[in-house]
Amino acid sequence: MQDQYTELQKRLRKFRERRKRIEFLQGLLLFLAVAAAVWAVLPAVYSIAPRDTVFRWLVSLSSASLLIYFGWRQVILPLYRWVFQRHVPPLDKVALEIGSRFPEIKDEFSNALQIVQEAESQSESEKALAWAAFWQTAQKVAPIPFENSLSLTRLKQHALMLAASAAVLVVLLSFFPTAYQNTAMMWVRPWQVPPSKQLTLNVTPGHVEVLRGSSLTVTVEVPETRVRSIALTAMYQNGKVKETLPLFSRTPNRFEYRFENINEPFEYRINADELISETYRVTLIDPPDVRDLQLTVKPPRYTRLPEQKLEPNVGNVQVLAGSRIHLQVQTNKPVDFAAVVFAQRDTLFLEQDNSGYIGEFRASRDDSYFIHLKDDRGLTNPNPIEYRIKTIADQPPVVEIVFPGQDVDIDESMAVMLGIMGEDDYGFSRLLLKYTVHRGGPYPMQDSGQVKVPFRVENGQLRAEFDWDLTELDLLPEDVVEYRAVVYDNDAISGPKKAESSIFRLRFPSIQEIFAEAAQQQEEAEETFSEMLEKSREIQENLDHVLREIRRNKELSWEEKQALKEELKEQQEMLRELEEVKQKIDEMVDKLERNDLLALETLKKYQELQQLLEEIATPELKKMIEAMNRALENVDPRLVQKALEEMQFSQEEFLNSLERTINMLKQLQAEQKLEEALKLAEEMLRQQEQINQSLEQNPDSASLQQLAHQERQLQEELNHLNRTLEELQKSKQETPQLPLPEEPVREAQTLAQSEQLKKDIQRAREMMQQGQPQQAKNAGKRVSGQLQQMQQWLSRAQQMMQQNQRAELMRQLRRGARNVLQLSKREEALSQQTRRLNASSPKYRNIADQQQDLLSATRRVTQQLFELTRNNFFVPHELGRKLGESLQHMQNAIRQLEERRSSQASSEQRKAMQALNGAAAQLRQAMQSLNNAQGGMGMSQFMQQLKGISDKQQGINQQTQSMGQSGQLSLQQQAALSRLAAQQEALRKSLQQLQKEFGNRKEILGSLDQIAEDMKKVAEEMRQKSISRELIRRQQRILSRLLDAQKSVHQRELSRKRKAETGKTYIGLDPGQLPSNLGETEFKIHQDLLRALRENYARDYKELIQKYFEALTREKRKNGSNF
Amino acid sequence: MRRLTIGKVAALVVLLMFSETVAQDAWNSSRFVIARIKYRGGGDWYNDPSIIPNMMRFMNANTNLKCAVEERHVELMDDALFTYPVLFITGHGRIRFSDEEAARLRLYLTSGGFLYADDDYGMDKYFRAEMKKVFPEKRWVELPFKHDIFHILYKFPNGVPKIHEHDGGPGKAYGLFHEGRMVVFYTYNTNISDGWADPDVHHDPEEVRQKAFQMGANIILYALTR
């Protein structure tokens, strides 16, 4: 019975075990089926909002919850019960479950088991009874195979469910693996976008290598057509610098971004909404390139400009044509070769050195270039910069003759001072003075030549002061020299460029021409004056007639009045003509002066003549004519009579002045004729001697012909001289008062008219024409001899005439001295009488009258001497002061006499006498000076003495300088220097004596005081036997001042006659308006251009400046501005 | 009252004299003065010493300008050159400017200075040549009669008045311009400044002298106001 019980228990346990196993398997299958089903639908669920994180969380959590629930419920719990609750449920419960499966058993089996289990603690009977019950039940149960009563249907169902859901899952998975991959990712990491989504951004080119400086286009293709935002993130410097760049849409799902000029490596990725692409790397490959470019401009050597190192990496250059340009190129990496590729010339390959790649070329014209590099991979430098080479041409120079700057006549000095100025940008090589001599005469010829002119350059400007000696040109009268300055710059590249100044002319007027013109004007003047004289006489007679009529009839008829008005009109017309003549004479004298054709005496006489002409038309006469005109309008005959009487008086003066003028003019004409003859003879002699000298030098045939031409001109000049001498003789007859010595003039005329002279000239000319210089020379020497004699006779004639004039001056001085002494004696006598007067003497009045007479006499003498003083340098001006003092004291004496003060009056008279004695002493000194004078008069003598001093000073200077140049002075030289010091001192005394003799005329002598002071210092230093630089300089200054003083005095003498003459009224021509350029010139524009280009402006500025000036010049020319 | 010692009196006198000198200098320095250029070359730069003081007297009497009645001399290289607003140059003969002097005169004139040049007969060719050194690029411009210098105070409808005869014909007035401003005024063949001399120097009629002074006043006023 026990066994059966155990058997049943065993069977119950088995049932229980099996049931738990089935439950577990069922749960497991169900769980797996549910899981498969969930996973089958999960992608679809996720796809509802895959990028919605919350949704993803929701789906993930709910699906996970579901699976956990099922897993717990269907797998874990059954498993737990199966493994860990092996005795649960108790067997009676298991039996009860079996009873429920089998109706015949029902709960019997469970009850039986319970009774048995309870009987264990009960009595045996009860146990037996329990066992019996159990036995009965066991009999009933035992045959029932309740163990197999467990159904597997559900298990199978679950297996089918699993199979179905798994099959679906597998199918879906095979079709949508990425979706399931993303679903798995989303399910596991709902907070992340499923990684499988990155695969949807198609980025090209991805990882890439690019050339530095090149561009890169990144293209992104996005499967989804709807992208809300997309951007590219570029990361530089290992992600330190990030830059978000927008992409541009080409098509709805295609985006692009272009990187330009990539110069550093970087990484990038694409962000499309929440999607992020892989990070790609862009790596750089560097092509060869120019890292540094350094240009050095080496201007042509002739410009003397320094090398110019341009700013680094400046490749455009503007240089003077011919400049060398040195290049130094540094590259970013070693290259196989580097070259300069020009647009218009061969490529220049650069050489490698330590500093990079170098090369040099000459810029001779405009061009362009670029640097070409190639590395070992064959890569070349991309987009090389093309640089420009702009060459500036060396500007041509400009030159101008600024002085005299006009056509001028050459005077007898045969020298002309030229002032030349020029300008260039880089300097000058030479300055020439080119000339053409246009020779006159019957065979016009042209000689051309050039003279090299020394110059200096200051601040880029050429300056030259050139004293052009024309002596070498052997100019003959009427020859014209055309000259111009030609300057060459120092352009050694394209050759020196030259510029020429304007052409000016020098004309050498002939003496005959000047004299003939003067003579013609004099004749015209004389003729005019003679006509005036004739007319004036008529007017005078008419005036007398009218006056007589007025006195007789006391009334003038209308006709008489009209006639009188006509006379007055003619008189006025005459005055106007007089003015014209005077002006012509002024011009004539001026021309004669300039050509040094007037002796100083003649010049003074001309001044007197001019003064006389000034006085003819006196303001009184003009006033008389006006008064007469007014009177004629008046009806009162007494006024007319009075005006006529006064007019008659002035008219007489006018007549007298005219006669004096005509006489003076005739005398002057005669004197001038003598001067003309002398000058002609001197000139002919000079020319003949010049011809003789040329003949000495064995001239060629052409030169002989030219000399023959000159000889022919000499013949013509001889004819002119003859005519002049004839006219001189005629003048002598017309003006007997002229102190013209007869004999020398006659002798000169005889020589001039001699057949021998004519024959010799003729022979000399023929011999020259026949090419026989020796015979020509012999004849020429004979001609010279005769001309020399003639010149000597004429010179003697002039000297004699001057002596006669000096004698006349001496006579006037003597007379003046005699008069002054007489006045002095009379004053002395009067003084003695005055001293003896007592206060009540009645003789006061008488002595006062005598004093008054003496005063008047002294005034007359003073006036005479004043005139003498005014025109003569021999008369010291101190004389005037002394005479003035005497007049003053005499007036004082008269006043004292009127107040009956005898002693004071006598004192004043003595002072007057002393002043007169002083004046007499001055006159005696003047006579002494006149006696000592060897030639010329006053100023000429002064000039000669000054010249003598200058010459001596020059000699001393030269000797001193020669000693100074020899270094240490020997004893002999020291002795010589002492002698020179003595000479210098003597010269100083001579100068001071000169100053003393000619009075203290500061206005004439200028700075002679300073010269004397310098001489003193020089002499002192010489005595100390030292020659310093200062001494030499001081000596040169002395000489310079002496020469200046001479020139200044000479100039002043020429200007004396007019400088203080009060001007008349002239109405000038109004220039209109100021020129628009206010005196600026195109020359100035060019100058400014050259200056501007010399400045250190940047090349671009220089280019601009040049263009500006060119435009300016064009504009000015276009507008026709007068530069 | 304390007695003054001799020493104190002497000191007081010296002080007063010094004060007087200082006051005089201050008075003069505040007044307009023309400087005459002392040039080299041999010409008589110094002639007619009475002209400038006379002209200054005329200015004091007839204008509101206060002038020092004196004449100053200045060499072109003197430091004081630029202290004079107006320079005057005249003479009969040679004038010589060294290159340095020419450059300095140019600087003076282009810096606001004014030069009045008056040919006293014979200066013309030398002066023009030297001025060419100063302004090689400029040309003399003959001034029209309507130019302000002939009308600024006294009216000269026919241009520069004729004072001395010289070469006959009307006088001429020229200008050199720099950047539109006349920097040199040059009178030729008239000799305005000779008309400023004492009456007994050239014996000019009073009306002629007056014209010279009036033109001088115009020149000075023009120089100071333009």
Quote the ipTM score.
Answer: 0.79
Same domain for A576 and A521, yes or no, is yes
CA A318 to CA A341: how far, in whole Å? 18
Burial A223-251 (b: 16+ CB within 10 A, else e): eeeebeebebbbbeeeeeeeeeeebeeee
pLDDT at position A1045: 65
Is residue A742 situated within a structural domain? no
Same domain for A241 and A385, yes or no, is no
In the predicted structure, residue A201 carries a pLDDT above the cut 80? no
CA A631 to CA A638: how far, in whole Å? 9
Task: Tell me the mean pLDDT in the region B140-163.
Answer: 92
List the alpha helices (DSSP H) in A735-772: 742-753, 755-769
In the predicted structure, residue B80 carries a pLDDT above the cut 70? yes
Task: Tell me the mean pLDDT in the region B197-202.
Answer: 85
Is residue A1008 situated within a structural domain? yes
Q: From the CA atom positions of chain B, what is the Rg in Å?
A: 20
Over chain A, what is the mean pLDDT? 79
Which pair of structure tokens corresponds to residue A854? 């003496």
Q: Which one of B139, B176, B187 makes the best mutation probe of the A interface by having the most chain A beta carbons within 10 Å? A: B139
Determine what percent of chain A is predicted with pLDDT higher than 70: 82
Determine what percent of chain A is predicted with pLDDT higher than 90: 8
Is residue A1072 situated within a structural domain? no
CB A422 within 8 A of CB A399: yes
Kindly report whether the global pTM for this prediction surpasses the value 0.95. no
Q: Which one of B98, B134, B137, B215 makes the best mutation probe of the A interface by having the most chain A beta carbons within 10 Å? A: B137
| pLDDT tens, position by position, A697-717 | 878 888 888 888 888 888 888
pLDDT at position A637: 67
Provide the number of CB pairs (under 8 Å) joining chain A to chain B.
151
Same domain for A270 and A402, yes or no, is no
Is residue A931 situated within a structural domain? no
Angle between helix A1082-1094 and helix A1099-1118 axes, rounded to 10 deg: 180
Which is higher by pLDDT, A154 or B184?
B184
Domains of chain B: 33-225 (3.40.50.12140)
Same domain for A55 and A129, yes or no, is yes
Domain termination site, one of A237, A263, A285: A285
* Contacting residues for A1044 by C-beta, under 8 A, at least 6 apart: A1006, B41, B42, B94
Same domain for A72 and A113, yes or no, is yes
Closest residue of A to B171, CA-based? A1068
Domain termination site, one of A868, A896, A924: A924
Return the residue matching tokens 């009306």. Answer: B207
Same domain for A135 and A88, yes or no, is yes
> DSSP letter at B190?
S
Same domain for A473 and A545, yes or no, is no
pLDDT at position A596: 57
pLDDT at position A249: 82
In the predicted structure, residue B55 carries a pLDDT above the cut 90? yes
Per the structure, the count of domains in chain A is: 8
Of B46, B120, B138, the CB nearest to A1079: B138
Chain-chain contact of B121 with A1041 (C-beta, under 8 angstroms): no
Chain-chain contact of B137 with A1067 (C-beta, under 8 angstroms): no
* pLDDT band, residue A1005 (cuts 50/70/90): very low
Task: Tell me the mean pLDDT in the region A289-317.
Answer: 88
Helix (H, G, I), strand (E, B) or coil at A1061: coil
State which residues form the domain around A665. 512-690
Is residue A840 situated within a structural domain? yes
Q: Which residues of chain B neighbour A607 with C-beta distances below 8 Å?
A: none
Task: Tell me the mean pLDDT in the region A989-997.
Answer: 73
Same domain for A130 and A148, yes or no, is yes
Task: Tell me the mean pLDDT in the region A339-346.
Answer: 92
Same domain for A294 and A247, yes or no, is no
Is residue A366 situated within a structural domain? yes
CATH code of the domain in which A475 resides: 2.60.40.10
* Contacting residues for A420 by C-beta, under 8 A, at least 6 apart: A399, A400, A401, A402, A431, A433, A453, A455, A462, A463, A464, A465, A466, A485, A501
Amino acid at residue number A1029: R
Helix (H, G, I), strand (E, B) or coil at B161: coil
CATH code of the domain in which A363 resides: 2.60.40.2450
Closest residue of A to B127, CA-based? A403
CB A264 within 8 A of CB A309: no
Same domain for A817 and A906, yes or no, is yes
Amino acid at residue number A729: Q
Write out residues 795-824 of A within 8 Å (CB-CB) of B: none
A1055 touches chain B (CB under 8 A): yes
Same domain for A895 and A1013, yes or no, is no
Task: Tell me the mean pLDDT in the region A1032-1039.
Answer: 79
pLDDT at position A224: 56
Question: For strand A266-272 and strand A308-309, is the pairing parallel, antiparallel, or unpaired?
Answer: unpaired
Task: Tell me the mean pLDDT in the region A536-555.
Answer: 72
Amino acid at residue number A370: F
A1003 touches chain B (CB under 8 A): yes
| pLDDT tens, position by position, A408-445 | 877 666 778 888 888 888 888 889 999 988 876 545 56
A48 touches chain B (CB under 8 A): no
Is residue A195 situated within a structural domain? no
A2 touches chain B (CB under 8 A): no
pLDDT at position A1001: 46
A1041 touches chain B (CB under 8 A): yes
pLDDT at position A325: 94
Domain termination site, one of A350, A370, A392: A392
Is residue A777 situated within a structural domain? no
Return the residue matching tokens 């009196």. Answer: B9
Same domain for A568 and A648, yes or no, is yes
